[in-house]
Structure 1
Amino acid sequence: MGSVAVTATRRILAALAVGWLLALLTPATAAQAHATLASSDPQSGAVLPQAPATVTLTFTESVQAITDRIRVLDPDNARVDKGQPTVSGSTVSITVDAGKQGTYLVSYRVVSADSHPVAGAFTFSVGAPSQRSATDDEAPAQASTAVRTALPIVRWAGYVGLLLTVGAVLVLTMLWPHRLSRAGPARLAYTGFGLITASTLAGLWLQVPYTTGGGLLDAGPGELADLIGTKFGTVLLIRLVVVAVAVVLARPLLSGTGDSQRLHRDVLAVLSLVGLATWSLSGHPAASPVPTVSVIIDTLHLGAMAVWLGGLVMLLALLLPRASDSERQAILPIWGRWAAAAVAALAFTGIVQALIEIGTFSALITSTYGRLLLAKLALVALALGAAALARRHLSRTGGTGTLRRLIATEVVITAVVLAVTSVLVQTPPARVPPAAPATGETGQQVQTLRHRTFSLQVTVFPAQTGNNTLHLYAYAPDGKPLPVVEWTATAALPEAGIEPIEIPLLRITDNHAIGDIALPSVGQWQFKFTLRTSDIDQGTVTATFPIS
């Protein structure tokens, strides 16, 4: 049986290599935030008559600030943000001391609830817009290609370690014949513990440049200390503690010695659930609309995967080559029931996860997350086909060569499934809304129009067919509010044959007027605004607003 065992081991290594290669060849896409900026105050592109005392950012889910990564720069690129930003759930408030007129830049980088960075920048103006010199804050740095490539590989290694550990401990505890040596399974288990530990430590290291934007070596003691104080860092530290305790408790089980195996099994079962939950608490489920349900479902999903694939590895590499025919006849039916239960749990939890993370059926096709999920489901279906064929051989005597080939096929396919899963956790769920438009306010259009005697800031809300509200602010060339004696405005859609429609305007203050108009059709609407600022001074400006 020695050569058979060697062949089986080679098959496992080949399967793991396939998954590793897939993770390596997966394109390293830009770090994609799983939260988006929903709105800001001031909004992007706004021209304010007076400088704000606070800048507020509102995201689609709760976030955590990164030290020195939220900045407000004045027209001369000097920082005007004061102290540390205040974070309350999904809202970030920045105290500013903005004394100059001109265009200000807000640059932000925060971490979403599922540990992914959210970065961006926008401008607003005080008095009147001004020219700005270029600054790195206009395009917040993202993690290097090496960091973004290493992250899914590290996660994949952690999954492999998890299945090796769970499979070895489970089979040794419940199915391993007493007469066989436990040295081989013990080596697999300790290899699994080592992979989980290495993956967790590497994940802690990589999270620093991933969130702050940098290279593989851009993780100093200060940044690591800050990370450990976050939820993500705490969860990964708990995983390391769980692994350390599990190694100690698993020793008598792996060696078959000791009088407290039952107690150790019970404690290990509890530790396993805690350890599995750390993957869920540091990923998408933590930011789910129903986080408690998502964390429980994801933990069960990961556990079922570890039981199924971990058991397959043990069967293929060690148990089938070493067990006698009579032992195989006793073991394989039991394993078949375990595998069926694990697959049923995978199917149920997978469906629930999809309903939460996908949101709509069309998102399965239109989103990257949905397409990856479909690819994962197709691979799982292939693995289940191989498993169904394998079950047909369970009651046969002999023919273990065919059975091993079928199980090897399952291992190869599911190793690739792990690689796809490693990429999937880096991809924004389909439920995540797209980033807000450049205006910084969803469903709103803002433009600043120029005339030789004035500038006019125009806001159209919600910039959709139906009733729309207009806000008009007039400023003198020096940026000061400009009193307007008379306002007139029209809107037309020539492409649809709609002639200019007069917009009734109500004067609110000397330089502010509002109006309301019903826009019946989608298209590029042409607005014309005429401002009379004295008995003899009058000017007209035009603008095109896309109405959806």
Structure 2
Amino acid sequence: MAGMTAVYRRWIARCAATAGLLVTVVALLLAPAGPASAHAVLVSSSPNSSAVVPAAPSEVVLTFSEPVRQVTGKIRVIAPDSSRADRGEPVFDGAVVTIPVDPAGARGTYLVSYRVISADSHPVSGAFTYSVGAPSTPPVDSGDDSRADPVVGNGIKVAKYVGYAGLALLVGPALVLAVLWPRRLSRAGPARLAWVGLGLVALSTVATVWLQVPYTNGGGPFDVTGTGLSGTLGSTFGAAHLVRLGLLAAAVFLLRPLFAGPVGRTDLVILGVLGTAALLTWPLSGHPAASPAPAVSVVVDAVHLGSMAVWLGGLVMLAGFLLRRADERELGAILPIWSRWAALAVSALLLAGTVQALIEVATPSALVDTTYGRLLLGKIGLFVLVLGVAAYSRALVRRRTAAGRPAPVRRAIWAELAITAIVLGLSASLVQTTPARTAVSDTTGGGESGYFSATLTSSLYSLQVEMDPAERGNNTVHLYAYDPDNRPQPVVEWRATAALPSAGIEPIEVPLLPLTDNHATGEISLPAAGEWQLRVTVRTSDIDQATVTATVPVR
């Protein structure tokens, strides 16, 4: 009778897991399809930026480098008297956004501010002016809160890091318990570790969806509305994260018997299918789904992520449990098998990472000229270091004798884990960084361009400086001021100059247009390449001001 009850429970678990898989597959099929693009850039506008037109247009047209999605209420046209000149909702047609405006508008300068969403879920914002009849003092968009709180951006990186760590802690115990775990040893410790890993993945998924709302719409971590949350959940990004939660829930039914004792091959096959489907939700909600070769990028990224989870999770199981609990005979059987697994996982990591780099970086110069490329170089350097430690530990496994416990192997494995923890941190930053292929693309001229971004600190404020394209000719400068607590710092007056002392070019004033209390933008034409000195003075009150300087490499 007990045997029949166990069989019945196993059948129920399989049915529940299969049903969960079917539901999530249907959700993926019904989810809105995302275009193959990433980090859209404004290519052109009508009227053109800084243009003077004889009569007020009936619409403003924005053309981006690729299709974009709407952020409700984040596209505005501000009249010279600071009133709203746009009429009705903008119309999105792929990469073209049409904004109806009042054709009877007054003479003077108008401000167009926008915030849209690229296919890889990252917001893109900007602003420009045009004038009707003759230029006037540019208006200020007092309702523009288009920049997310830095806490939100950093919070997303932390959430993604937690998710990667949780995935390794879930996959490692599940795989080792299914194939390598000695029958005589208790499964309680690895089971607890796996449940912690599953909880971290679920927590990371929920936190990422929550933070995506203010990241998309602008604001702090608690600026989440029902409309914003609904919009996020209705996107491809939201659908992928909901699918992940569904797959985790379905997997629970099969993980419970696995953590209690050995299970049949059918259960392991279903778990493998669930795990593979879950892995695909990471690339489907990020850069890979929006790359020039989305099908290849999604598969490669899933392989990369899965190999990482197998390798790191297996290392945790070895260092935390097997090397301390298994006897010499058991280790003699386990370690050679694990060594082959690790070699296969590392080979898959290298191959998948190489393909990813070729797609996302595109050109050798982008490795050193972009933030994405430099982060990738740091990741490669650490990965080479961890491979050296891994080779040392594999050699220890091959030379291991029957005398004593393999303490040197355990120390080498802990060293691997410590270095790879840093690699995971870089990976979490990479997925939130503009891909190098986009950062170096010049959408207006078809050539290559750079992008400069830096955070400068004074006693009064920190200043985020962005210059695009950071090359000879016309450049756009964005300045964002924050107080010491990383909250937007209201600015009374902005002043900026750019000079190239090596070429004898005296400081050139950068005309700045305040967009919000803490955000100003400006256009400047740089006549020569070199190390330009950008000097910014920010006055925060009648008596308080400070000046910061950045060295901007211009090509």
Same fold (TM over 0.5): yes
User: 1:138-287 counterparts in 2 under 5 A?
Assistant: 140-256=145-261, 261-287=264-290
Q: Distance in 2 between matches of 1:369 and 1:207?
A: 21
SS at match of 2:220: coil
Partner in structure 2 of residue 81 of structure 1: 86
Q: Distance in 2 between matches of 1:442 and 1:39?
A: 13
CA 361–132 in structure 1, closer or farther in 2 if over 3 Å, else same: closer
RMSD: 2.4
CA 282–220 in structure 1, closer or farther in 2 if over 3 Å, else same: same
**One-letter amino acid of the structure 2 residue matched with residue 64 of structure 1:** R
SS at match of 1:78: coil
The answer as to whether partners of 2:78 and 2:139 remain within 8 angstroms in 1 is no
5+ unaligned residues in a row in structure 2: which ranges?
A: 1-37, 448-470, 474-502, 504-526, 530-554
Q: Offset of 1:50 from its aligned partner?
A: 2.6
The answer as to whether partners of 1:364 and 1:374 remain within 8 angstroms in 2 is yes
The answer as to whether partners of 2:280 and 2:302 remain within 8 angstroms in 1 is yes
Partner in structure 2 of residue 431 of structure 1: 437
Q: Which of residues 107, 122, 126 is equivalent to 1:116?
A: 122
Q: List per-residue Cα deviations over 1:151-201 (Å, max 9, x = no partner).
A: 111110000010111111111101111111111111111101100111111
The answer as to whether partners of 2:370 and 2:440 remain within 8 angstroms in 1 is no
Partner in structure 1 of residue 468 of structure 2: none
Partner in structure 1 of residue 317 of structure 2: 314
Query: Greater shift after overlay, 78-87 or 150-159?
Result: 78-87
Partner in structure 2 of residue 126 of structure 1: 132
The answer as to whether partners of 1:280 and 1:299 remain within 8 angstroms in 2 is yes
Q: Offset of 1:211 from its aligned partner?
A: 1.2
Q: Offset of 1:277 from its aligned partner?
A: 1.1
**One-letter amino acid of the structure 1 residue matched with residue 321 of structure 2:** L
SS at match of 1:84: coil
Partner in structure 2 of residue 418 of structure 1: 424
User: 1:371-390 counterparts in 2 under 5 A?
Assistant: 371-390=374-393
The answer as to whether partners of 1:119 and 1:140 remain within 8 angstroms in 2 is no
Q: Distance in 1 between matches of 2:221 and 2:44?
A: 33
Q: Distance in 1 between matches of 2:334 and 2:430?
A: 35
Partner in structure 2 of residue 349 of structure 1: 352
Q: Distance in 2 between matches of 1:44 and 1:434?
A: 22
The answer as to whether partners of 2:146 and 2:218 remain within 8 angstroms in 1 is yes
Moved over 6 A (4+): 440-443
CA 50–277 in structure 1, closer or farther in 2 if over 3 Å, else same: same
| Percent identical | 53
Matched, 1:102 2:108: yes
Q: List per-residue Cα deviations over 1:219-247 (Å, max 9, x = no partner).
A: 12221112111111111111111111111
The answer as to whether partners of 1:40 and 1:441 remain within 8 angstroms in 2 is no
Matched, 1:288 2:294: no
CA 388–436 in structure 1, closer or farther in 2 if over 3 Å, else same: closer
Matched, 1:56 2:61: yes
Q: Offset of 1:299 from its aligned partner?
A: 0.7
Q: Distance in 1 between matches of 2:446 and 2:338?
A: 54
Q: Distance in 2 between matches of 1:180 and 1:193?
A: 22
Q: Offset of 1:127 from its aligned partner?
A: 2.0
Question: How many equivalent pairs are there?
Answer: 414
SS at match of 2:331: helix
**One-letter amino acid of the structure 2 residue matched with residue 194 of structure 1:** G
**One-letter amino acid of the structure 2 residue matched with residue 247 of structure 1:** V
5+ unaligned residues in a row in structure 1: which ranges?
A: 1-32, 444-462, 466-494, 496-521, 525-547
Q: Distance in 2 between matches of 1:442 and 1:297?
A: 28
Q: Distance in 2 between matches of 1:523 and 1:358?
A: 26
Matched, 1:366 2:372: no
Q: Distance in 2 between matches of 1:88 and 1:323?
A: 62
SS at match of 2:135: coil
Partner in structure 1 of residue 19 of structure 2: none
The answer as to whether partners of 1:390 and 1:407 remain within 8 angstroms in 2 is yes
The answer as to whether partners of 1:167 and 1:311 remain within 8 angstroms in 2 is yes
SS at match of 1:107: strand
Q: Distance in 2 between matches of 1:426 and 1:271?
A: 26
Q: Which of 1 and 2 has higher RCO (CA within 8 Å, sep 6+)?
A: 1
Q: Distance in 2 between matches of 1:275 and 1:416?
A: 24
Matched, 1:391 2:394: yes
CA 225–308 in structure 1, closer or farther in 2 if over 3 Å, else same: same
Partner in structure 2 of residue 488 of structure 1: none
Q: Offset of 1:105 from its aligned partner?
A: 1.4
Q: Distance in 1 between matches of 2:446 and 2:392?
A: 53
Q: Distance in 2 between matches of 1:89 and 1:333?
A: 54
Query: Greater shift after overlay, 274-283 or 46-55?
Result: 46-55
Q: Distance in 2 between matches of 1:442 and 1:358?
A: 17
Q: Distance in 1 between matches of 2:162 and 2:430?
A: 15
Q: Offset of 1:84 from its aligned partner?
A: 2.3
SS at match of 1:142: coil
- How does the TM-score come out when normalised to structure 2? 0.71
Q: List per-residue Cα deviations over 1:443-498 (Å, max 9, x = no partner).
A: 9xxxxxxxxxxxxxxxxxxx999xxxxxxxxxxxxxxxxxxxxxxxxxxxxx9xxx
Matched, 1:328 2:334: no
**One-letter amino acid of the structure 2 residue matched with residue 300 of structure 1:** V
Q: Distance in 2 between matches of 1:415 and 1:331?
A: 25
Q: Distance in 2 between matches of 1:351 and 1:86?
A: 40
**One-letter amino acid of the structure 2 residue matched with residue 386 of structure 1:** V
Q: Distance in 2 between matches of 1:192 and 1:315?
A: 16
Q: Distance in 1 between matches of 2:442 and 2:111?
A: 17
**One-letter amino acid of the structure 2 residue matched with residue 109 of structure 1:** R
- How does the TM-score come out when normalised to structure 1? 0.72
